[in-house]
């Protein structure tokens, strides 16, 4: 008998991307995140685009992909509320708290998530964790504050490094830099998110506990597991 191959991470992402279509409310504007799982969601969206009058996007990259499939993209300022925001995560825990920002889009992701009634996280099963923090925590920082913020993380036991693109610091869609912080112990995501957000020069910390997911569609070899929080 030929053994059945386990699905690849990409196949699991495609599975949850497809499953997320069930959360669209026909005729309503949606929020769309950023990353490789979301790219698969945008591909799936192309098949039902008549149900989606427009989207608010969390990055220039997703905006380009949405427009390429014929979906209009609105500025977040034009929209008061979204029924759903669909995005991936770098880590998600048992309460729906996440680490995000692996794709450097965390600030706009948090803004669009804040407009939405429900955050639907789409992720392969490798993203589900007991405790957040193995994935380096992305923090978007105003360039002149980087060294100051690095020292503040040091005081918490973390090691922050400036994210590079080639030989230059990465510049986000908002013109800022990203620090990736390793070695933090994230016992209380809500409290740590609130605390880091107060540091001068921090634009956004990639802990999504205030803007956590209400639903996670998790891709597993047995199919899509739905976690509701
Ligand atoms: C981008 C993000 C992404 O949602 C996160 O990095 C997951 O990406 P992927 O779907 O490629 O695994 O937060 O800033």
Span 61-70, average pLDDT:
98
Which positions ≥6 away from 23 have C-beta within 8 Å? Answer: 84, 86, 118, 120, 215
Q: Flag whether pLDDT at 3 surpasses 70.
A: no
Asked if residue 124 lies in contact with residue 9, where contact means CB atoms within 8 angstroms, the answer is yes
Tokens of 139: 């923090």
Average pLDDT, the chain: 97
The pTM of the full predicted model, rounded to 2 decimals, is 0.95
Share of the chain above pLDDT 90, in %: 97
Task: Please state, in angstroms and rounded to a whole number, the distance separating the CA atoms of residues 157 and 178.
Answer: 18
CATH number belonging to the domain at 137-206, selected among 3.30.70.260, 3.10.290.10, 3.40.50.300, 3.40.50.2300: 3.30.70.260
- Is residue 119 helix, strand or coil? strand
Mean pLDDT of 86-113: 98
Q: 219-228 pLDDT, tens per residue? A: 999 999 999 9
- In the annotation, is 109 catalytic? yes
98 neighbors 138 (Cβ within 8 angstroms)? no
Quick check: 123 and 218 in contact, CB under 8 A? yes
pLDDT over 90 (residue 185): no
Tokens for 46, please give them. 């192309």
Give dist(CA 193, CA 34) in Å, integer. 21
Beta strand pairing status for 159-162 and 177-182? antiparallel
Residues with a CB atom less than 6 Å from ligand 1: 33-37, 87-90, 100-106, 109
Kindly list the domain boundaries of the chain, sorted by start residue.
9-129+210-223, 137-206
Residue 119 scores a pLDDT above 80:
yes
Average pLDDT over residues 173-182: 98
Residue whose Cα lies nearest atom 8 of ligand 1: it is 35
Query: Comparing 9-129+210-223 with 137-206, is the CATH topology the same?
Result: no
Indicate if the pLDDT at residue 4 is higher than 80. Answer: no
Domain range 9-129+210-223, CATH class: alpha beta
**Mean pLDDT over residues 112-139, rounded?**
97
Q: What average pLDDT does the segment 10-32 reach? A: 97
Given 11, 64, 109, 187, which residue is catalytic? 109
């Amino acid at each position: 008998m030929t053994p059945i191959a386990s699905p690849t991470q990409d196949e699991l992402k495609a599975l949850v991307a497809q499953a997320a279509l069930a959360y669209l409310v026909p005729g309503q504007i949606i929020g769309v995140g950023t990353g490789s799982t979301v790219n698969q969601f945008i591909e799936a969206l192309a098949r039902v685009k008549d149900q989606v009058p427009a989207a608010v996007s969390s990055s220039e990259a997703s905006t380009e992909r949405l427009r390429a499939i014929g979906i209009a993209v609105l500025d977040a300022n034009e929209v008061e509320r979204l029924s759903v925001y669909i995005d991936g995560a770098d880590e998600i825990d048992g309460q729906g708290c996440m680490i995000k920002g692996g794709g450097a889009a965390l600030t706009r992701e948090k803004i669009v998530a804040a407009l939405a009634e429900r955050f639907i996280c789409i992720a392969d099963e490798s993203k589900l964790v007991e405790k957040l923090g193995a994935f380096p925590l992305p923090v978007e920082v105003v360039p002149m504050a980087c060294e100051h913020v690095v020292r503040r993380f040091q005081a918490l036991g973390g090691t922050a490094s400036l994210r590079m693109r080639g030989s230059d610091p990465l510049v986000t869609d908002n013109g800022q830099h990203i620090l990736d912080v390793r070695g933090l112990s994230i016992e209380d995501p809500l409290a740590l998110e609130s605390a880091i957000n107060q540091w001068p020069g921090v634009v956004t910390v990639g802990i999504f506990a205030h803007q956590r997911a209400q639903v996670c569609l998790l891709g597993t070899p047995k199919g899509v597991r739905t976690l509701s929080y």
